[in-house]
A and B are shown apart, each in its own frame.
Chain A
Amino acid sequence: MQFCRAQSLDAALEYLAEWGADGCLLAGGTDVMVRYNKSEIAPGAIIHIEGIEPLSLITTHGRTTIGALNTHRGLAGDAAIAARHPAMASAARLVGGWQTQAVGTLGGNICNASPAADLAPPLLVADAHVTLASMRGERRLPLDEFFIDRRVTARRADELLTTIDLEPLPEGSAEVYLKLGRRGAMDVAIAGLAVRLSLQEDGSVGAARVAVCSLAATPRRVPEAEALLLGARLEDDALAAAGQALAGAVSPIDDARGTASYRRRVLPGLLARAARQCGEEARQ
């Protein structure tokens, strides 16, 4: 195996063009090294991209643009992120433990395409788009088209994720991310739920976005629940209906962390809790 250190985006893209599917990008390495040590992957080359500084930038003109190499710890402590993307900031604080957060990156979290990626639901409710670069050029696509299946993305073998751009939280809106785990840290989500709501003057929901992780092969938006929230007031019956729709729309599995039935059962209560929390914050 060859170890290639890329100090610039161009260098990284050249390595990728050369190695294709046999090259494995290494950012923080918190996924790559675990899989490598378990012999789940055996790449011909590891292409280390952590040193490409421009990929750690965050810009806030209009949409928020976040470089793929921003770490969870960095995102959790960033004032602009806290104001514009509070759900993402809290999700970043809940990834693994401090050690994981200190090196694990946003780009790695997305490209790893785990069904349990904590940052994915907050990104999905912020209408995230990803930008992929290769020697052939650049393309931009919505995050929900990027996730294809468990550990499968739309990334082509020679492409590198450079940035993610997001819609900041509009006026009169609020968002939350609720992670269901058993421990206070170092836990893969049993279920993760992000909700972004805008409230109208009369207290009804003007815009609703709901996204989940650990409840399907990929993190995903749940339009079935969004439709029932839209126009509704945040009251028991409406929330229960949306919660039922959410539980019906997802396709959880039994695994070592929890059963499908448990995952479905908690969803209505979690959605009601998240929506009420948004409602309170949006009114303030």
Chain B
Amino acid sequence: MTAVGANVQRSDGEAKVRGEAVFGVDLAVARMLHARLFRAPVAAGLIRRIDTSAARASDGVHDVVSGADIQNQRAGVAVFDTPLFATDYIAYEGEPIAAVVADTPELAEAALRRIEIEIDEVAPIATPEQALSPGARLVHPSWAEFGTVGGIDFGAHGNMVAEIFSDPGDVEAAFEQADLVVEGTYSTPRQYQAYLEPKMALATYEGGRYTVQVSHQYPFRVRDRLAQVLDVPKSAIRIVGHHIGGGFGAKLDLGLEAYAAVLARRTGRPIKMVNLPDEERLTAPCRENAVVKIRSALRNDGTILAQDVDVVFDSGAYANNGPAGASIPMFMYASIYRVGTARIRSRMAYTNTAPTGAFRGVSGPYLVFAAERHMDQIANELGRDRREYRLATLASDGHKMRNGQALEELSILHKAFELVEARAPWSDQGADQEADQDTDQNGEKLRGIGIAAAVWLTNPQPGQATVKLNEDGGIIIVTAATDSGSGAVTTGLRQIAAECLGLSADHVAVTMPDTDVAGFDAGSQGSRTTHVAGRAVFDATSEVRRRVLETAAGMLEAAKEDLLIEDGIVRVAGVPDMSLSLGQVAMAATFSKGPIVATASYTTPPPPHDPELTKGMLFNTWPTPTYHVHLAEVEVDPVTGKVTVARYVIAQEVGRAINPDAVMGQVVGGVAQGLGYTLWERMEIEDGRYVQRNFETHGLPLACDMPKIETILMEHPEPAGPYGAKGAAEPSIVPVAAVIANAVSDAIGAPIDSIPITPEAVLDALQSLEHGVSG
């Protein structure tokens, strides 16, 4: 093998470094107008009156639209609850109420300021706890009329968007048998994806069809959602993708596309829309804030007899794809550890806050945070070494999750623990540390260590690729798979095709997505591109290879079986002067039977499971699992409460690293993002509004704040994957909060069960310890 396993350069790398790459926000077309949204200034209220007449008369303005002017039915991915414009009531601060079209963005902005609105403010439902409390005001009075995708019953009721559960019925009995019950509550805030390029759309309406140019992770989703919102056939819509300035899940659903499309049709002119940076941040589909409660019934020997898990998370004002995230607790609990029996309840609530949504590792970081903080808590209460207790409790191959699906290769996790141990030997000093508390007067740093494990999935959804052999021997991959920066398309897919056809990846180019041209692809989500789109590329290229050999066999008058392809040359084995270039073969084919082109599709088949074991799930299985162990050593400054990550080690199972540098980039990036979530970033909500209004106070960490991240890639080829590849990009973010909180708790000798672990929170915890000890 040559192309696979090599650190092939990205095909978009040089253009991006040189500034030549055209991102969505850079686009311009002739006769283009600009639109901006007028957004709700308050978190909740009744709209009494909107007067757009002054805005309409404003300089350079072409059109002003509000909910009354258009078809404004509710739509959505999972729950059909979201109107384009708020009309009667405001559900969150920043909700679109009207749009203005003008010659320039500045003129549109000026006109926005002339829209008059009268609102009767009402007290916002600011937290899920408040939303779910009896008698709470309904965020959406008409919730009972909202449709759902496929008519699935997510258990919605009032402010509850979804209630998903699994209850085998034997949990209470197990608690009665327990020697010991350990209980914890773990809470986590929102996290903003913090990509560089704000959401944008450039729409035209021509000859009865809409074309929308985007920088979007999932162009086919845009097509399908536009069809739903505009109430037009999917075939009346074409989505064309461009370079994406980051997304991390925030660009998986509709953003500005529908507004731009509606306005393009109304004005007969191309409409470009781009959010301002602060507007983007305040309305982005952040990772949801959540509170997880776990109760474990234990025997004195450490056996877990049962676990009772309750997850409550904040959907914000609309559901987005929330029920998908709400399904994930079923795979994060009672999965890698033996916990006897388990009852899991997952509830998602509407609040008057910006709707939350997909973010790398959807739901995983806080679910694993809770699970692994809880494991530490149990070990500490039992007086057991925290690593040893995990190993003793870890399940083995074939262990079944709550959905009845077996984790066939769970022993990879045992291996991962061993590999981490070999790199960074565990030394649990937790107990001595507490005795040393009083030496911190001198400001000596407190040291701690943490470990955590997780299983993650590879998103199974469909992908198709067409592979064309050009008459010069070059390969073009036509796909709607998107590369939001990972290199999965710009290196991975090219390497897979190159390997399969025996040529260098330099000869393989890949298209930008275009829904009119490429087959369906479920977008850049859940680490699926290399595995699923890669498999489609592999299958299509295999067919191209078959046709090359067939054509060449005729030309060389040799048997197909005797042919081999090396460096773009088809040879007859053992006959050095009998050869043809791929170009010659392609040329001959084109002018005889037709060009050599092949298309293939792949969807991961659902693993065997029992749908009766869970209720309300949006997806029922955990396909192509990958295994992860993280270890961190931290230093805590007892004077300032600042946490420094001294060492970070990961063993991650990836199936096969098609491009090791690219995989490392994803692993390191995910950890960096996880560290931001755990130690620095803030998206606090007060009265339904974000407290930190911009990046100045948001506190995104910088390169200089990052520790060195030591990565051990575990290769364990997956037969269904192209050359054995599984998903690798998402999961490194998942265990980070858990492992850091475990290490900090160890360092200071007091539990840290919520994040972000700000210096102040650390001092609070240290102080509560002093008080606890003295009285």
Mutual binders A and B: yes
Stretch at the interface among A4-12, A14-22, A23-31, A255-263: A255-263
Bound together, the chains give a CA A233 to CA B442 distance in angstroms of: 15
- CB neighbours (8 Å) of B758 from chain A are 182
Task: Knowing A257-B697, A266-B639, A269-B638, say if A186 contacts B702 (CB, 8 Å).
Answer: yes
Chain B residues near A35 (CB-CB < 8 A): none
Are B697 and A262 within 8 A (Cβ)?
no
Within B716-775, which residues are at the interface with A (CB < 8 Å)?
A: 758-760, 763
A216 is an interface residue with CB less than 8 A from chain B: no
Evaluate contact between A262 and B760: CB separation under 8 angstroms.
yes
Specify which chain B residues have a CB less than 8 angstroms from the CB of A265 in the assembled complex: 763
- Specify which chain A residues have a CB less than 8 angstroms from the CB of B640 in the assembled complex: 180, 266, 269-270
Q: Does B691 contact A (CB under 8 A)?
A: yes
Contact B702 A258 (CB under 8 A): no
| Alpha-carbon distance between A185 and B638 when the two chains are bound, in angstroms | 21
Within 8 A of B (CB), among A248-284: 256-259, 262, 265-266, 269-270, 272-273, 276
Are the CB atoms of B680 and A266 closer together than 8 Å? no
Asked if B680 contacts A182 (CB within 8 A), the reply is yes
In the complex formed, the residue of B with least CB distance to A240 is: B441
Q: Give min CB distance, A188 to chain B, whole Å.
A: 8
Given known A-B contacts A256-B691, A272-B443, A183 and B701 have beta carbons under 8 A apart: yes
Judging by beta carbons under 8 Å apart, are A259 and B680 in contact? no
Residues of B within 8 A of A180 (CB): 640
> B245 near A: Cβ within 8 Å?
no
B67 contacts the other chain (Cβ, under 8 Å)? no
Given A183-B705, A256-B691, are A269 and B697 neighbors across the interface (CB < 8 Å)? Answer: no
Given contacts A269-B640, A272-B443, contact A259 B702 (CB under 8 A): no
User: For A186, what are the chain B residues with a Cβ–Cβ distance below 8 Å?
Assistant: 702
What is the bound-complex CA distance between A144 and B73, given in angstroms? Answer: 63
Is A202 interfacial (CB-CB < 8 Å)? no
Q: Does B692 contact A (CB under 8 A)?
A: yes
Q: Which A residues, 39 to 90, have Cβ-Cβ distances below 8 Å to chain B?
A: none
Query: Are A185 and B443 interface neighbours, CB within 8 A?
Result: no
Q: How far is the CA of A112 from the CA of B642 in the complex (A)?
A: 29
User: What's the least CB distance linking B583 to chain A, in Å?
Assistant: 50
Shortest Cβ distance from A256 into B: residue: B697
Expressed in whole angstroms, the minimum distance between the Cβ of A246 and any Cβ of chain B is: 13
In contact, A258 and B760 (Cβ under 8 angstroms): yes
Q: Is there a chain B Cβ closer than 8 Å to A236's Cβ?
A: yes
Residues in B with CB closer than 8 Å to A276 are 442
Q: Check B705 against A184 for contact (C-beta < 8 Å).
A: yes
Q: Tell me which residues across on chain A come within 8 A of B639, comparing CB atoms.
A: 266, 269-270, 272-273
Which residue, B640, B691, B699, has most C-beta atoms of chain A within 10 A? B640
Q: How far is the CB of B582 from chain A (nearest CB, A)?
A: 49
> A183's contact among B441, B699, B760, by CB below 8 Å, is which?
B699
Interchain CA distance A255-B443 in the complex, whole Å: 26
Contact A262 B763 (CB under 8 A): yes
Task: Report the Cα distance A186→B697, complex, angstroms.
Answer: 11
Judge if B519 is at the interface, Cβ distance under 8 Å.
no
Asked if B704 is an interface residue, CB under 8 A from chain A, the answer is: yes
Q: Would you list 8 pairs from A and B whose C-beta atoms are within 8 A, ordered by A residue?
A: A182-B699, A186-B702, A256-B697, A262-B763, A265-B763, A266-B759, A270-B639, A273-B443
CB–CB A266/B443 < 8 A: no
A100 to chain B, nearest CB (A): 13
A181, chain B: closest CB distance, angstroms = 9
Known: A183-B701, A269-B640. 12 other contacts (CB 8 A): A180-B640, A182-B699, A182-B759, A183-B704, A184-B702, A185-B702, A185-B704, A256-B697, A259-B760, A262-B641, A266-B763, A272-B639
**Which B residues are in CB contact (< 8 Å) with A236?**
441
Report the nearest A residue to B694, measured CB to CB.
A256
Closest A-B pairs by Cβ, 7 of them = A269-B639, A256-B697, A184-B704, A262-B760, A184-B705, A273-B443, A266-B640
Interfacial residues of chain A within 119-175, with CB under 8 A of chain B in the complex = none
Q: A residues touching B (Cβ–Cβ < 8 Å)?
A: 97, 180, 182-186, 188, 236, 256-259, 262, 265-266, 269-270, 272-273, 276
User: Which range contains the number of B residues in contact with the other chain?
Assistant: 20 to 34
Q: Residues of A contacting B680 with CB < 8 Å? A: 182-183
CA distance A276 to B704 in the complex (A): 27
Digit string of B668-708 for contact with A (CB within 8 Å is 1, else 0)? 00000000000010000000000110001101011011000
Interface centre among A97, A180, A236 (most CB of B within 10 A): A180
Q: In the docked arrangement, what's the CA distance between A257 and B696, Å?
A: 9
- The residue in chain B whose Cβ has the minimal distance to the Cβ of A188 is B696
How many whole Å from A80's CB to the nearest CB in chain B?
27
Q: How far is the CA of A273 from the CA of B639 in the complex (A)?
A: 9
Residues of A within 8 A of B704 (CB): 183-185
Which chain A residue lies CB-closest to B691? A256
Complex Cα spacing A180 to B758, Å: 13
Q: How far is the CB of B534 from chain A (nearest CB, A)?
A: 37
Q: Which residues of A contact B760 (CB under 8 A)?
A: 258-259, 262
Bound complex: CA of A53 vs CA of B505, how far in Å?
A: 55
Question: Which residues from chain B contact A182 at a C-beta distance below 8 Å?
Answer: 642, 680, 699, 758-759
- Bound complex: CA of A265 vs CA of B640, how far in Å? 9
CA distance A270 to B699 in the complex (A): 22
Q: What residues of chain A lie closer than 8 Å to B641, measured between beta carbons?
A: 262, 266
Chain A positions within 8 Å of B763 at CB level: 262, 265-266
Collect the chain B residues with CB atoms within 8 Å of residue A256's CB: 691-692, 696-697
Q: Which residue of B lies closest to A258 (CB)?
A: B760
Assembled-state Cα–Cα distance A182/B704 (Å): 12
Least Cβ distance of A31 to chain B in Å? 13
With A183-B705, A184-B702, A186-B702 already in contact, the answer to whether A269 and B691 are too (CB < 8 A) is no
- Which residues of the partner chain A approach B443 to less than 8 Å between Cβ atoms? 269, 272-273
A16 to B705, CA, bound (A): 43
CA–CA, A273 and B443, complex, Å: 7
Binary contact track B617-651/A, C-beta < 8 Å → 1, others 0 = 00000000000000000000011111000000000
Cβ–Cβ < 8 Å partners of B442 in chain A: 276
- Nearest Cβ distance between residue B685 and chain A, in whole angstroms? 14
Nearest B-chain residue to A184, judged by Cβ: B704
- Which residue from chain B places its CB closest to the CB of A265 in the assembled complex? B763
Measured between beta carbons, the chain A residues less than 8 angstroms from B638 are 269
Chain A contacts for B705, CB-based, 8 A: 183-184
Proximity string of chain B (220-262) to chain A, C-beta cutoff 8 Å, 1 when within and 0 when not: 0000000000000000000000000000000000000000000
Contact present for B691 and A183 (CB under 8 Å)? no
Closest to A255 in B: B697
B689 to chain A, nearest CB (A): 13
Q: How far is the CB of B303 from chain A (nearest CB, A)?
A: 42
CB distance from A38 to the nearest CB of B (A): 10
Whole-angstrom distance from the CB of B151 to the nearest CB of chain A?
45
Chain A nearest Cβ from B4, distance in angstroms:
38
Task: Kindly state the separation between the CA atoms of A13 and B118 in the bound complex, as whole angstroms.
Answer: 51
Chain B residue at minimum C-beta to C-beta distance from A97: B702
Q: Using Cβ atoms and an 8 Å threshold, which residues of chain B touch A273?
A: 443, 639
Residues of B within 8 A of A272 (CB): 443, 639
Give the residues in chain B near A97, CB-CB below 8 Å. 702
* CA distance in complex: A256, B760 (Å): 13
Chain B residues with CB below 8 A from A266, complex form:
639-641, 759, 763
How far, in angstroms, from A188 to B697 measured CA to CA in the complex? 9
A252 CB to closest chain B CB (Å) equals: 13
For the complex, give the distance between the alpha carbons of A20 and B561 in Å. Answer: 90
From residue B516, how far is it (CB to closest CB) to chain A in Å?
Answer: 41
Q: How far does the Cβ of B109 sit from chain A's closest Cβ, in whole Å?
A: 13
Distance, CA A272 to CA B440, complexed state (A): 12
Q: Which residues from A are CB-within-8-Å of B696?
A: 188, 256
Identify the closest chain A residue to B699 (Cβ): A182
Q: Which residues 483-529 in B have Cβ within 8 Å of A in the complex? A: none
Once the chains are docked, how many angstroms separate the CA of A256 from the CA of B684?
11
Report the bound CA distance from A123 to B662 in whole Å. Answer: 48
Asked if B702 contacts A183 (CB within 8 A), the reply is: yes
User: With the chains together, A258 CA to B441 CA distance in Å?
Assistant: 23
Complex: chain B residue closest to A190, CB-CB: B759
Alpha-carbon distance between A259 and B684 when the two chains are bound, in angstroms = 14
A185 to B699, CA, bound (A): 11
Nearest CB in chain B: distance from A112 CB, A: 16
